[in-house]
Amino acid sequence: MKRSIVCLAVGVLLLSAVGTGMAKEQELIGAGATFPYPLYSKMFDVYSKEYGVKVNYQAIGSGGGIRQLINKTVDFGGSDAVMSDEDLKAAQAPVLHIPTVAGAVVVTYNLSGGPEIKLTPDVIADIFLGKIKKWSDPRILSTNTGTKLPDMAITVVHRSDGSGTTNIFADYLSKVSAEWKEKVGTGTSLNWPTGLGGKGNPGVAGLVQQTPGSVGYVELIYALQNKMPYADLKNKKGNWIKPSITSTSKAANIALPDNMMVSLTDSEAADGYPIAGFTWILLYKEQKYGDRTEDKANEVVKLVWWMTHQGQKYAEPMEYAPLSKAAMEKAEKLIKSVTYGGKPMMK
Amino acid sequence: MLESAGQMIEPLERAQAESVHHRPGFTLSEGAFRKILYLAGISVLVLLIAIFFSLLLASMPSMKALGIRFLTGRTWDPVTSHFGALPFLVGTLVTSFLALCISILFSLPISIFLGYYHREGKASSFVKTVIELLAGVPSVIYGFWGLFFFIPIIRFVETELGVAPYGVGILASSLILAVMIIPYSASLGREVINLVPNDLKEAALSLGATRFEVIRKVILPYARSGIFAGILLSLGRALGETMAVTMLIGNSNFLPTSIFSPANTMASVIANEFTEATGAIYLSSLIQLALLLFVVTTVINIIGKIIISRTSVT
Amino acid sequence: MKDRTLTRRIVADRIFQVVVVFLSFCSILPMFFILFFISKNGISSISWNFLTRLPAPVGETGGGIANAIVGSALLILLASVVAVPLGILTGIYLAEYRKDKFSYLSRLSVEILMGTPSIVIGIIAYVWVVKPIGSFSALSGGVALGIMMLPVIVMSTEETLKLMPDSLKEASLALGVSYPRTIMKVILPAGLSGIVTGMLLSVARIAGETAPLLFTAFGSPFMAANVFKPVSSLPLTVFNYATSPYPEWHALAWGASFVLLVFVLALNLIAKLGMRKWKVQF
């Protein structure tokens, strides 16, 4: 019996040795944001059919993506939050933030009949601060005259994991509410004043879907795919904006820095949706680390190039805003700056 | 297992074959073999010690940075790196003890049912089998079932009471935990009740006691420590349970204020936040929670084992 | 007077019995609820497609759990490689050296390990395997599950061997068979059925474990092919899809739960039959 166990063990190891040797780096591992996950899942499926390279992307939240990239346990990270100074220091090497698409964080809710409601920035902040506790609060009613709102308690739903979506949302709230900025602040994991936690965008959507009277924040596609209502918001210029590809693209129409580490919230654009944000693929500028082969680095760079070019056509059907020309130019520059052993990978 | 002489024939024949044909493949000397056995024997102890020290080492950063505030702080704030684990300690203790109380209500009757009323027979083996199967159901399936069974009921109750209709929270996770730990105290309880000497029971009966009185005055006092050990075992299991709790507890890092509040336990917060703890102190704090869990469950297991061995049961 | 107290006592006795039976009955209800619930929702998902295809991208139908099934199998295999040889040897040690001072410590360690929360073991596997290798892998998941299998195999091997009559060992030794050969080629094979039963139980225990896999095996939408890469598994699939809002994913979760539940319950029942047949008890 022991002999058969030994044979089994040897067989398993041989199998993986063969697998490792044979595969010309046929599998890439990524982890991170749930924000773009529906889109990435589609993109990677198409990519694997076209190029034979499998991309295993686990949507564990932007915080997870950043952590695993720092730990070098993944080939690339996905995040809708820019890496903090502490994170960049921990990475010990420059990390590029390459934008893939922009998306909208919508305020979704569970009210019978799914009425359309309008919310102002201060009201949103106070709901999530726990100060406005009922749907029948006069401040909510004042912007929704004509809509019947029940006298129900508001249940806040937020993320329980480290999330870039949270980061975008909190970044916006910090800009529009001094109290939020002081009490809670911005980041991927927050000390939420109130509410339930759901894991990932799907978790929050699921909880809101099942809890009457609840309100949460998710990426637009999650609300659409689950047929959940979302609010119109008043932007900086005082206009009521419905979240959509158009309003997201308008919000992204600002001066973009070279490193693309920019926030799109509280946009100055007249028709821009106030809670929009880029989502990025994070990778090390210098790809020669650990025992990474040039092959593997090549595959990662090819993937990101494809995502920012041919892959863009999958964005709109899923209600994500594709990169503008200006954004794409910056992205191309960033991708071209990726090196292996000091030599740039793309010519 | 080898009861009759007839069943010994095959092994004996094998022994004979071994003694005659020196087949290759096992020419280990007795000394070497015994050394291997010794090594195997200490391996588990070494493993445990290694686990402890690995956890300790990895918890060092947060221990140094936070000190005792780790256990007393009420805020778990990754933004400012202030990690106070009190909400999780409270969440763990409250859910575990609540689950324990609820489960005793059911496991004690089962122990009595199987250990006294129906020690043999079809009813007994049926119930015994079902209870043992319940122990084998994976935690994630309990959680999944709980999501669709308990949550709507609790939500309904909460709406009736006028409380926020979360559904998820302490009550939900305690209920599912209770169902999950019933088998542990039930089977140990059954064993000790079964072992109460017959003469004691019969003496009481012959003196005119009803079965109820036999249970109250003879069996339970006699089996008391064994039942207690079973309860400890259940507690140990409840403390470390992760998946079902994560799915039903609401994932709030706040000190829970009522039985309907969402909360987090040490295990569920690790499950939620481990893969994304950015920052050395954050990760180290989570590992410190694991260390705490490890120490507490180990202590409970040791106490339980001491009690069991003291009553010389099993 | 005496009559009334007697009646009261008899009534109390009857009531107690009814309460005990009632509560016992209630306690076994969850099993049937769970079976009913999971079967009702899960069976409709089961199809040849479901069992042989990979999951579809988000929002699309027609996915399957083939990778989860293969992943689970791979993890169980790896865990067995880790746990079975060591577990059997340790079980032999405990059975042979019963009175040893040291064996008390050893046995205690096994029981403590048995009661250690699975999430703690997952963290250990992360620290010991994932960090050094630099990536999530089936191997790390296998190590974590192997550590959890170990106590069950040790205890079942020990119990099985303790039931072997001493006379067998003595007869073999008397015939001149060396001690190592006696143990490995005579005693162990004689107790094979008990040991295999123990293995079945240990597999049942780890087949449904999710917590240790969250940060070791990590999950993957692809078919498992490489021990050093992440891999999917049935319980991970259930967890990820159960907490999502998509009905297609819920269907996957139901189906996967059904497969997992049937597998685990079947293993437990077979093991129980084995224990009854060979009159071993652990």
Answer yes or no: pTM beyond 0.90: no
Examine the pLDDT at A315 and tell me if it is beyond 60.
Answer: yes
Q: Measure in Å the smallest separation between the Cα of A41 and chain C Cα atoms.
A: 5
Share the mean pLDDT of chain B: 86
At residue A24, the pLDDT reads 45
Examine the pLDDT at C130 and tell me if it is beyond 50.
Answer: yes
B23 vs A344, more confident: A344
Q: Are the beta carbons of A58 and C131 separated by less than 8 Å?
A: no
C62 vs A272, more confident: A272
- Quick one: pLDDT band at residue A128, thresholds 50, 70, 90? very high
Q: How large a percentage of chain A has pLDDT more than 70?
A: 92
Is the separation of the CB atoms in C223 and A17 below 8 Å?
no
Q: Are the beta carbons of A56 and C58 separated by less than 8 Å?
A: no
Q: Are the beta carbons of A203 and C81 separated by less than 8 Å?
A: no
Taking contacts as CB-CB distances below 8 angstroms, the residues of chain C near B137 are 31, 34, 208, 261, 264-265
Determine, yes or no, domain membership for C33. Answer: no
At residue B22, the pLDDT reads 62
Distances (CA, A) of A83 to A163, A257, C215: 12, 15, 22
Q: Are the beta carbons of B280 and A90 separated by less than 8 Å?
A: yes
Q: Measure in Å the smallest separation between the Cα of A149 and chain C Cα atoms.
A: 25
The H or E element that residue A157 is part of is strand A155-159
Greatest CA separation for chain A? 79
Choose from A83, A160, A199 for mutation: most chain B CBs within 10 A: A160
Residues of C with CB under 8 A from a CB of A: 56-59, 74, 77-78, 80-81, 84-85, 130-131, 134-136, 184, 188, 192, 218-222, 225-230, 243-246, 249
Q: Are the beta carbons of B8 and C172 separated by less than 8 Å?
A: no
Taking contacts as CB-CB distances below 8 angstroms, the residues of chain B near C186 are 11, 14-15, 18
Region A320-345: mean pLDDT is 87
Determine, yes or no, domain membership for C226. Answer: yes
At residue B278, the pLDDT reads 67
**Domain CATH for C103:** 1.10.3720.10
Q: Are the beta carbons of A197 and B75 separated by less than 8 Å?
A: no
- Quick one: pLDDT band at residue B216, thresholds 50, 70, 90? confident
- Quick one: pLDDT band at residue B4, thresholds 50, 70, 90? low
Choose from A26, A39, A73 for mutation: most chain C CBs within 10 A: A73
A160 interfacial to chain B (CB closer than 8 Å): yes
- Quick one: pLDDT band at residue B5, thresholds 50, 70, 90? low
- Residues C66-117 pLDDT 10s: 888 999 999 999 999 999 999 999 999 999 888 878 888 999 999 999 999 9
Domains in chain B: ranges and CATH: 47-311 (1.10.3720.10)
Share the mean pLDDT of chain C: 88
Taking contacts as CB-CB distances below 8 angstroms, the residues of chain C near B131 are 27-28
Examine the pLDDT at B65 and tell me if it is beyond 90.
Answer: no
Residue type, position B183, single letter: P
Examine the pLDDT at C139 and tell me if it is beyond 70.
Answer: yes
List of residues 6+ apart from A222 with CB closer than 8 A: A38, A108, A201, A202, A204, A205, A228, C245
- Residues A195-239 pLDDT 10s: 888 888 888 998 898 888 999 999 998 998 889 999 999 988 889
Query: Which of B253, B254, B277 lies at the smallest CB-CB distance from A67?
Result: B277
Determine, yes or no, domain membership for C6. Answer: no
Name the residue range of residue C160's domain.
48-278
- CA-CA distance, A283 to A30, in Å (whole number)? 10
Examine the pLDDT at B312 and tell me if it is beyond 60.
Answer: no
Residues 246-305 of B with CB under 8 A from C: 247, 267, 270-271, 274-275, 286-287, 290, 293-294, 297-298, 300-302, 305
Examine the pLDDT at A23 and tell me if it is beyond 50.
Answer: no
Determine, yes or no, domain membership for C14. Answer: no
Sign of CA dihedral B149, B151, B154, B160: negative
At residue A124, the pLDDT reads 93
Residues 68-97 of B with CB under 8 A from C: none
- What is the number of domains present in chain C? 1
The H or E element that residue A196 is part of is strand A196-198
Question: Model ipTM?
Answer: 0.88
Examine the pLDDT at B10 and tell me if it is beyond 50.
Answer: yes
Region B88-106: mean pLDDT is 93
At residue A38, the pLDDT reads 87
Q: Are the beta carbons of C211 and B242 separated by less than 8 Å?
A: yes
Determine, yes or no, domain membership for C59. Answer: yes
Q: Are the beta carbons of C211 and B271 separated by less than 8 Å?
A: yes
- Quick one: pLDDT band at residue C59, thresholds 50, 70, 90? low
What are the phi and psi torsion angles at C56 (to 5°)? -90, 160
Region C192-200: mean pLDDT is 90
Determine, yes or no, domain membership for C37. Answer: no
- Residues C261-271 pLDDT 10s: 999 999 999 99
Determine, yes or no, domain membership for C258. Answer: yes
Taking contacts as CB-CB distances below 8 angstroms, the residues of chain C near A19 are 225-227
Q: Which residue has the tokens 């990932």?
A: A200
C56 vs C34, more confident: C34
Q: Where are the alpha helices (DSSP H) in A118-244?
A: 121-129, 138-142, 164-176, 178-183, 200-210, 220-225
Number of H helices and E strands in chain A, helices first, is 13, 14
Closest to A233 (Cα-Cα) out of A116, A317, A114: A116
At residue A3, the pLDDT reads 58
Residues 41-80 of C with CB under 8 A from B: none
Determine, yes or no, domain membership for C67. Answer: yes
| Residues written for chain A | 347
Q: Measure in Å the smallest separation between the Cα of C47 and chain B Cα atoms.
A: 20
The H or E element that residue C209 is part of is none
- Quick one: pLDDT band at residue A8, thresholds 50, 70, 90? low
